[in-house]
Amino acid sequence: MQSKTLKVGIVGGTGYTGVELLRLLALHPNIELTAITSRGEAGMPVADMFPNLRGYVGLNFIDPAQADLGSCDVVFFATPNGIAMQQTRALLDKGVRVIDLAADFRIQDIAEWEKWYGMTHACPDLVAQAVYGLPELNREQIRTAQLVANPGCYPTAVQLGFLPLLEAGLVDVDHLIADAKSGVSGAGRKAEVHTLFAEAGDNFKAYGVGGHRHLPEISQGLARMSGKAVGLTFVPHLTPLIRGIHATLYARLDKQADLQALFEQRYDNEQFVDVLPKGAHPETRSVRGSNQCRIAVHQPQGGDTVVVLSVIDNLVKGAAGQAIQNMNIMFDLPEKTGLEIMPLLP
């Protein structure tokens, strides 16, 4: 399979996750970009909207109604919530494998999804078929999946940080805390007052304290890891960064263990999770533009609280990079293909 060229389509190529998919796929040795859809920008050269792609992506945006997505091997949905669920069944029926970067297939409890996303689900039967695309947890299921629900950005950073502790049964799962910060690109490429430079620059604030759409997704994942329901307090914050997520995670230890060794052993064979040396403090700039998650684990003053620091680029490991990682797994390609990108610093 490694020598095969995969035909790839992208639905909704005008957002930040869309351009990030294009940036990464343009240099992927095993893919051919065949269609990038946009109703509003149909006919426009992709490189006119995203000048960084000039010389790398020669396609024009095409209206979805005109795109031959059924001839693709895999289609990525880089669309707002509620779009992929309208189109996925027809693609699956044609043998196309689908990776949804939005939330349409992430949450197994349909009523819970409808409550948080404020719409009726168009294909609830496909939700049960979807595989949650966190490779470090579900790699074997992803290999044979026809439909992958790519995790959200906050959920990726939080789940990777808590995973070793929950699998080992070391912490009180009733009182988990995730204090997470995101750059403004996490809000998407749309005009909103709160993401204007004069509003978000030189400012720092929490939001969604009473409830955030990523909460049920994170809680579902942590429950799977621990084998029972969890109690999670999740507080997101907006920072004056373009890219980056920093999750500071807290849990109460029920048992003592060598936490550094636990994390190093759990992620020893993971190509995109880097456990830093004891006492380290990961920075968002250390992962900018890459598919890396860098993690450090602390036990302040040797007490019974464990603090995990987890950083990712929200557009790469938190979105497009992880989606390509999933594609590589699904088509039996080396997992790093197209993703061997050194972070950009400064």
Q: Work out the percent of the chain whose per-residue pLDDT is above 90.
A: 93
Which pLDDT score, from 0 to 100, does residue 187 have? 86
Cα 210 to Cα 331: distance, rounded to the nearest angstrom:
40
Question: For residue 69, what pLDDT is reported?
Answer: 97
Average pLDDT over residues 17-43: 95
Active site residues: 153
Which residues, including other chains, have CB under 8 Å from residue 161's CB and lie 6 or more apart? Answer: 178, 247, 249, 295, 308, 309, 310
Task: Write out pLDDT tens, residues 161-214.
Answer: 999 999 999 999 999 999 999 999 988 888 789 888 889 899 999 999 999 999
* pLDDT beyond 60 at 2: no
When pLDDT is averaged across residues 127-140 and rounded to a whole number, the result is: 98
Edge-to-edge, what's the strand order for the sheet holding 273-275? Answer: 205-206, 232-238, 176-182, 245-252, 305-312, 293-298, 273-275
- Closest by Cα among 161, 130, 155 to 219: 155
Whether 307 shows a pLDDT value over 50: the answer reads: yes
Enter the pTM of the model: 0.96
In this structure, the number of other CB atoms found within 10 A of the CB of residue 281 comes to 11
Q: Which of 105-109, 187-191, 295-299 has the lowest mean pLDDT?
A: 187-191
Instruction: Give yes or no for residue 304 having a pLDDT over 60.
Output: yes
214-226 helix and 135-143 helix, angle to the nearest 10 degrees:
80
In which order are the strands placed within the sheet that holds 6-11? 31-37, 6-11, 74-77, 97-100, 147-149, 131-132
Q: Return the pLDDT at 3.
A: 62
Which residues does 90 contact at the CB level (< 8 Å), separation at least 6?
70
Domains of the chain: 6-129 (3.40.50.720), 154-314 (3.30.360.10)
